[in-house]
Amino acid sequence: MSDSDGLGVKNGRAIAARLSVAARKLRFSTSKRSDLYAAVGLRPRLMDRVFKAAFIIATIFLLIMPIIISTLYFGFIASDQFESETRFTVRPSSPALGTDQVGNVAGMPGVELFQDTQIVMNFISSREIIDVLKKRLDFHTLLGGPHVDWVARLPSDATEEDLLRHWNRMVSVSVTPSSGIITLKVRAFSPEDAQSLAKDIVKAAETVVNNVNDRIWRDVTATAQHNLDHASVELQAAREKLAQAQNNNGVLTVEGSSDVITNLISSVEGDLLKLQQRYQTQSSMVSKTAPQMRVLQREIDSKQSQLDDLKQRLAGQQGETKNLASISQDLSQLQLAQSLAQQQFAAAVKSFEQIQFVSK
């Protein structure tokens, strides 16, 4: 082997040794980017350094500090809070006036129950209940006394909006759709205050529901009474119109008058036929100008006139005189109006009696 070959082998071994050392440094170096970059002879970029600093700051302020503050507050500062839970239901305002078929099929409360329940829930979460309870409760003593920590305390200079927001943080209400049961949760700084406040809320809600139901019943009763009076007036007017039409036309019932006129027509036609036969028989023996023939002809003409008048009254039309068919049409319309008025009056009476029975 020549000297040049030996020198090349030595250089190759030296390079391999340096690469092996660099590989071991990379393999046993820490996971930090700066150490990794330093191991390979590189420097981290500015963006990487900014990202690292932002990550550290975010971790401190968003994770570590909230944990520390929460631990200090709940462990050493926060006042004890007690929760009272109450469950109740609302009775429908009109249980016997009808049935909710959808609710019966689906096994869910009726629409009226949901309406009353929603009224209660809105009332408990509104300023109205605060105004009601203010008459017998001091909210600043109950929720903002010296025994309450400064974070959970109601400020002494709290406005109405601040009081409402604080109220909704301490009081929550929910409903179970399948059963209509209302769940009320009240938090206070003593078990007695929590229980007493829950009772006051339920009592105030009960008063509101009763007042709403009373107004509903008054409106329903007044409406039923108005409908009954209106139906009574309509029925009386329909009866008077029918009686007046019967008196003006001299017809009590169309069927009875028709039978009478038909019988009269049959009788007159029989008499007329006999007179005509008698006239034909005598005309062959006596002159038509004879006195007895003229008398007989006048009788025939009289019967014919009477027959025409009866037929005219039954189905004909002459001048302004109404026939029986026209009278029948007018009376039928008036009788129909009277029948509808009677049905409306009966329905109004039934509804009014049902409301009177349920409201007792």
What residue type is 148 in one-letter code? V
User: How far is it, in rounded angstroms, from Cα 16 to Cα 32?
Assistant: 26
Q: CA nearest 243: which of 339, 335, 342, 343?
A: 335
- What pLDDT shows up at residue 15? 73
Q: Element (H or E) spanning 142, and its range?
A: helix 139-144
State the pLDDT at residue 262.
66
> Which residue stretches of the chain have pLDDT < 70?
1-9, 11-12, 19, 21-45, 73, 76-78, 92-113, 150-152, 249-265, 268, 288, 307-308, 310-328, 359-360
Tell me the per-residue pLDDT of 181-190, one tens digit each, with 9 for 90 and over: 999 999 988 8
Tokens of 177: 């759709």
Query: Rounded distance, CA 360 to CA 353, Å?
Result: 11
